[in-house]
Chain A
């Protein structure tokens, strides 16, 4: 304890006197932290360029970017929601860049100003020890077997849950939410908040779990299964963007290239995300194996309209 305390004080003294190591690029990223750290370490090892990481939820990353607007600190931003890439591009905040390593990234996972780091899909996370029959469809969670036993991330807080809600509304399955509400489903918090009660057995299943988090829990020995319904689900791509305000454009581009390299994409695969490149092996079912909902969620209406319908269904 003494040594850690001393090192803390030392670090404090160093930074106060301005001798803190000056990083070459600054990356703001949504979780998971282990992936962000691994990518940064490997990138530094390969290129000698230091990476200063700020990792938080997509919401906190955006709040910090917004507050720093007059003097942007970040060079690269990685979000968990493609919405932010679209919005930032519309606001003219992004630098156009197409990485040479993005050749094997399918077109719907890249634009002029953003490219996916990896992709998650939404599914049902189910605890096999919960004494409930294994669900195979979204609608199963609205049945009596799951009365009061279902949680769902709040689409207002979780970008990926929003994608699922708007997707299901667009594909004419909106009445599902009325049934879920009638079945006592609990809508609370973001993704992990919905998963934790299911792990302990307080609830049996998550409707709309971000699959890589649940798959990661399963890998550590938790009693949890992920089910992707046959009727279709939605995917959530994680865009990487370079801010136009960057002073380190070349190094930022190198970072994007690295994340899309074989090594970078393997790191992405390790946390059970689908790699953005189709030629890198995933440790889980990929886009080609998962059935997606036919119509895009944007057909359900604006964000406000979708959230209103959802709120009405749950009588919140």
Chain B
């Protein structure tokens, strides 16, 4: 039996490693090559290391690195401050309309950050929507470091909210009940028991927020440009967009960004491995949630406030712009109408086909990334030898460290080699590759955290009762981690469906995705039409999770009955 298990793991490990090398490692190898050899794009290895000294010494490089770090830390802190109390209330107490709040907190994640940012600008700048309605504008706040941190945290806090509330719920009230029996107050029980037990999952989500923040392009580009706040990603984009194009510098800045992310990843790993708790044991942990009592009103007010600021406000700004005949006409009834929606419905500008393409691509990318994620998480937490495991682990996290534009660059350099007999380049396949590569860390992270919470004794029990390793994995592990995997696939779908930066660079000729379509409308077309497509996309990508959330509840129920065996 032991031999057979090792064989299964061996094959799985080998296949997973091979796939990771093709999807992740090779594009990054080409980025490193580009950083070293400036003319690698032309297939030449001449003038190695020519750029290195100049870039490392430049003042920009130090400032941009520091700014990326400050921004990342600020957004992580702000998101955690917003999300943790909400997650605790949601998981441990009987909150009226719990699922509605979950849904509302999914929406900020559905709003592409560059569109939300434009919404905030149109609302808060002088003569913006807020001033038209109330006479005040918050331009001073918006175009400042706290402003960027606020706008980005409004987008990222749901990541922590969902990870933390899921983890708090899995821990349940049982453990803190024990401490209550021994005399701890509710606050002390939460701080000393629930929060530390949830550390691996919460730390993983904090890292995800950090990585998302330092590789986000749209928000720092739009807001940061107003007060000279440059980060590494905007620096990379400048080297890629401003004549003369400087690919080696872009690659070098990318490597700096990768180093920053890897440092954060190492930090998170130390926390996670120092505190690895099996909270999903053989007994049901679904203890009943408590009543909120007199805190019901304040709790609901808090949820409503956060939901309005993070979801309602940007959505209203987007809708207002989509309904405006002209931007200069302002929020007057005479300036409102459905012209922009009508224009995209006639499909003269290709809005509908862009949406079809993106939803199809998002679906395929989610399925591929989801199964890939399970394989990687299984190998790293359960099977294989030590060395192979850490290699796989590192490879799977690598894309987290690189912004989309860098992945896109690596993909072009790799897949446009004339020597290749077949290549996905210039087909939709290259976009699937790009999305899977960029988003792979999300299913891996979610699934690994879920695997870590499952006590190996459950699998041991299945094996003792005669189930094979494969059967054990499919019948015991997969159902237990399925909610996390589904949540991650959902994330992949929504982010892939609206991805902009990589799509802009590698989209096959003649293909528009939602991101590139909307961006083109903003760039030289009609902002109103761009916002109309954005609005429809947000609605559509919110309805998909509705279906998935209800499916999730069914899986959770069958999952918990499996734990009760």
Contacts and interface: CB of A to CB of B under 8 A. Distances in A.
A, B bound: yes
Interface of A: 1, 3-9, 11-12, 15-16, 18, 20, 23, 26, 28, 31-34, 37, 52-60, 62-64, 66-71, 73, 81, 83-84, 87, 127, 129, 154, 156-157, 159, 186, 188-190, 192-193, 196-197, 199-203, 213, 216, 220-224, 316
B363 A62 contact: no
A127 B127 CA distance: 13
Contact of A7 (B125, B222, B328, B353): B353
Nearest to A148: B126
Given A33-B524, A59-B245, A67-B413, 16 more contacts: A5-B359, A9-B360, A12-B357, A12-B428, A31-B520, A34-B525, A63-B247, A64-B412, A66-B41, A68-B412, A69-B42, A71-B416, A81-B243, A157-B242, A200-B128, A202-B127
Contact of B505 (A4, A31, A64): A64
B48 interface: no
Given A57-B241, A200-B328, A70 B417 contact: yes
A229 B251 CA distance: 42
Given A129-B328, A201-B127, A67 B412 contact: yes
A32 B356 contact: no
Contacts, number: 190
Given A54-B510, A189-B225, A9 B245 contact: no
A188 B225 contact: yes
Contacts of B418: 70-71
Contacts of A12: 357, 360-361, 364, 428, 432
14 contacts: A8-B355, A8-B360, A12-B364, A18-B427, A63-B505, A68-B416, A70-B416, A71-B416, A71-B418, A73-B426, A192-B524, A193-B222, A200-B125, A200-B127
Contacts of B429: 15-16
Given A8-B356, A12-B364, A202-B139, A56 B325 contact: no
Contacts of B359: 1, 4-5, 8
A33 B121 CA distance: 25
A202 B137 CA distance: 10
A66 B358 CA distance: 26
Interface in B288-342: 325-330
B527 interface: yes
A200 B358 CA distance: 31
Interface string B504-531: 1101111000000000101111110000
A197 B126 CA distance: 9
A141 B126 CA distance: 19
Nearest to A70: B43
A176 B305 CA distance: 47
A58 B243 CA distance: 9
Task: Give the residue among B349, B363, B412, B524 with the most A Cβ atoms within 10 A.
Answer: B524
B228 interface: yes
Contacts of B361: 8, 12
A316 B364 CA distance: 45
Interface of B: 41-43, 121-122, 125-128, 139, 221-222, 225-226, 228, 238, 240-245, 247, 325-330, 349-350, 352-353, 355-361, 363-364, 409, 412-413, 416-418, 426-429, 432, 504-505, 507-510, 520, 522-527, 540
A73 B416 CA distance: 9
A67 B416 contact: yes
Contacts of A18: 427
Nearest 8 pairs of A and B residues by beta carbon: A8-B360, A59-B241, A4-B356, A201-B127, A8-B356, A223-B328, A52-B509, A69-B41
B503 to A, nearest CB: 10
B510 A52 contact: yes
Contact of A220 (B228, B238, B526): B526
A107 B496 CA distance: 47
A3 B225 CA distance: 41
A197 B125 CA distance: 8
Contacts of B416: 67-68, 70-71, 73
B527 to A, nearest CB: 7
B238 A156 contact: yes
Contacts of B505: 56, 60, 63-64, 67
Contacts of A5: 356, 359-360, 363
B428 A201 contact: no
A8 B510 contact: no
A203 B137 CA distance: 13
Contact of A9 (B326, B352, B363): B363
A26 B508 CA distance: 11
Contacts of A186: 226
Contacts of B244: 87
B117 to A, nearest CB: 12
A60 B523 CA distance: 13
Contacts of B413: 67
Given A32-B525, A156-B238, A223-B329, A67 B41 contact: yes
A33 B520 contact: yes
B427 A20 contact: yes
A58 to B, nearest CB: 7
B244 to A, nearest CB: 7
B356 to A, nearest CB: 3
Q: Which of A8, A37, A68, A154 has the most CB of B within 10 A?
A: A8
Contacts of B522: 192
Contacts of A52: 509-510
Given A11-B428, A71-B417, A192-B523, A53 B509 contact: yes
Contacts of B42: 69-70
A260 to B, nearest CB: 22
Given A9-B363, A52-B510, A59 B329 contact: no
